Amino acid sequence: MTRIVYVNGAYKRYAEAAVHVEDRGFQFADAIYEVIEVRDGHLVDASRHLARMARSLRELAIPAPMSDAALSQVIQQVIRRNRVRDGIVYMQVTRGAGPRDFTLPPPGFLPTLVILARTQRKGWSAELAETGISVKTIPDNRWARCDIKTVMLLPAVLAKDEARRNGSKEAWFVDAVGNVTEGASSNAWIVTAGGTLVTHPLDQRILPGVTRATVMDVAKAEGLKIEERNFSREEALQAREAFVTSATNIVMPVVKIDGMPVGDGRPGPLAHRLRIRFHHVAEISAG
Ligand code: PDD
């Protein structure tokens, strides 16, 4: 249970933490966010997350609410005040609050910053990885700038709900020509019959996942071959293994796509190896 939340310069009790009713994040989804894993009281890949957050802000011309150094201090405070050892930090920056207006506000408009930390039971994702997850493919109906981590998440929310109603834990978005772009809240990967890792190239159709980047570092260190290219649902169904990556799931095996088994229908060895090696390679910093 989150007890203390940082909101615009103050540490508030969870029940009392609030932003303005005319916050642009609320009215226009004019906002970006980040999710960082907390593990054994430390932040995982904080530098990459902060760099991506800075990029998201730049792309939308939202001013940074504070320096990275100050942000790191606040993150540490929020983790400490909530006594989180294992869980996540969630950060959201909106363009700020003011009378509803599609026109962007003038320079000097103050952004809104919210940071919360939440405990998650240690080991939940390792347990889930033992059985793996099912995914459901869904047409990708998101906007054309999925490389920016905005809170405009309604397509992901609805896709995940449809997946869940079909017994799947995650949705895989498929573009107009049949290629899998990414998961609703994860990056999508397959392993070919030859043992090559394949994931969608970095462009405006997918989020440049931090876990994706670190898994690439792990794969390189393990001498594995990686191809950043398109793959279709059909290729994924023929793959030896499939998995998703995200800060919350790390590496999560996918054992079924649209009800059909991937490989032998059990979590694969490569996904397992990447998962085990992940935290040896990821940046672990004070939290
Ligand atoms: N989601 N793609 C999408 C659309 C995502 O929402 C996420 C993360 C990722 C993986 O990115 P990373 O490895 O940096 O977590 C890919 C977060 C966890 C969320 O929305 O909760």
Contact 109, 145 (CB under 8 A): no
Last residue of a domain, one of 121, 147, 166: 121
93 plus 166 within the same structural domain? no
Q: Which residues contact 79 (CB under 8 A, 6 or more apart)?
A: 38, 41, 43, 89, 117, 287
Q: Which residue has the tokens 């405070």?
A: 77
Q: Which is the catalytic residue, given 136, 149, 160, 256?
A: 149
> Could you confirm whether 149 is annotated as catalytic?
yes
Which pLDDT score is estimated for 246? 98
- Ligand 1 site residues (CB inside 6 A) read 35, 182, 185-187, 207, 209-212, 245-248
93 alpha carbon to ligand 1 midpoint, in Å?
A: 16
Which ligand 1 atom lies nearest to the CA of residue 149?
Answer: 6
| Structure confidence at residue 287 (pLDDT) | 76
158 lies in some domain: yes
Our count of domains for the chain comes to 2
Of the residues 89, 121, 153, which one is the last residue of a structural domain?
Answer: 121
Q: Are 195 and 240 in contact (CB under 8 A)?
A: yes
pLDDT tens figures, 20-71 = 999 999 999 999 999 999 999 999 999 999 999 999 999 999 999 999 999 9
Q: How does the average pLDDT of the chain come out, rounded? A: 97
Same domain for 37 and 55, yes or no, is yes
Chain segment 137-172, per-residue pLDDT in tens: 999 999 999 999 999 999 999 999 999 999 999 999
**What is the predicted pLDDT for the residue at 78?**
98
Q: Are residues 257 and 116 in the same domain?
A: no
Rg (CA), the chain: 19
Q: What is the pTM of this model?
A: 0.98
Query: Which residue range(s) make up the domain with 269?
Result: 125-281
113 phi and psi angles, rounded to 5 deg: -125, 125
Whether residues 87 and 136 fall in one domain: no
Q: Is the pLDDT of residue 17 over 70?
A: yes
Whether the predicted pLDDT of 128 surpasses 60: yes
- Which residue, by CA, sits nearest to atom 6 of ligand 1? 185
| 34 contacts 52 by C-beta, under 8 angstroms | yes
Whether 116 and 155 map to the same domain: the answer is no
Does 199 lie in the same domain as 108? no
Average pLDDT over residues 247-259: 98
Verify that 89 and 135 share a domain, yes or no.
Answer: no
Question: What is d(CA 33, CA 148) in angstroms, rounded to the nearest whole number?
Answer: 9
**Which of the listed residues 70, 105, 121 is the one where a domain comes to its end?**
121
- Residue range 91-95: average pLDDT? 99
User: CA–CA separation, 269 vs 278, rounded Å?
Assistant: 14
Residues 157 and 267 in one domain: yes
For residue 60, give the CATH number of its domain. Answer: 3.30.470.10
Same domain, 115 and 138: no
Q: What is the mean pLDDT of residues 78-86?
A: 97
Q: What's CA 13's distance to the chain center, in Å? A: 26
Does one domain contain both 82 and 135? no
Neighbours of 140 (CB within 10 A): 21
